[in-house]
Amino acid sequence: MDEPDRIEFHEYIFSRGGYIIPSVAKTKPAPIYQCPSSIPISFDDLVIFKEDIFPKSNFLDLEWFTPYQNGYFTHGPGMLYSPSWRDEKGLHRGRIYMGLFSTFSFLKPNEKRKDGVYEKFKDEEKKVLNFYQACCRNIRKNCRKDNTGFYHGVGSDLLSEIGVEKLQF
């Protein structure tokens, strides 16, 4: 997906009550992206959350951050997101994935993991997985999958027409 396709996907996320933050933030609290134009295009991974499952206000609580290299790793029940990006070599494929998501994702990193964590967050876990599946359906609906597994829409089609190579990684 090139920029027009990526912006359309971001608009879909926001229309469904989603928001995006960096997976590794330079500051605490992390910036929260709520509109397509605010999301920086970079090589960094992002995390997609849904407001009704894990409100943005949780990230005002600094316990959801742990020191990591030159910043802070953000925790919570979201899906990891690597947007597609372009450089001089071509268009690099992005992806969304559930990564290390589990019912424990609803607990702060230093919070005691009590018995029954799975039962306590079972419904919320299902809602996150449903949102992930809805995002995947949106990509499949609005983009085509080529023979290499690369989903692309109108934006990446235009790049192909001018000779920009599509790269898997």
pLDDT in tens, 98-111: 988 999 999 999 88
**Residues facing 92 on adjacent strands:** 85, 167
- Please count the structural domains in the chain: 1
166 close to 90: Cβ distance less than 8 angstroms: yes
Residues 24-68 have pLDDT tens digits of 988 888 889 887 777 776 657 899 999 999 999 999 999 999 999
pLDDT over threshold 90, residue 77: yes
pLDDT digits (tens, 9 = 90+) for 90-138: 777 788 999 889 999 999 998 888 878 889 999 999 999 999 999 999 9
Its domain, for residue 51, covers 3-167
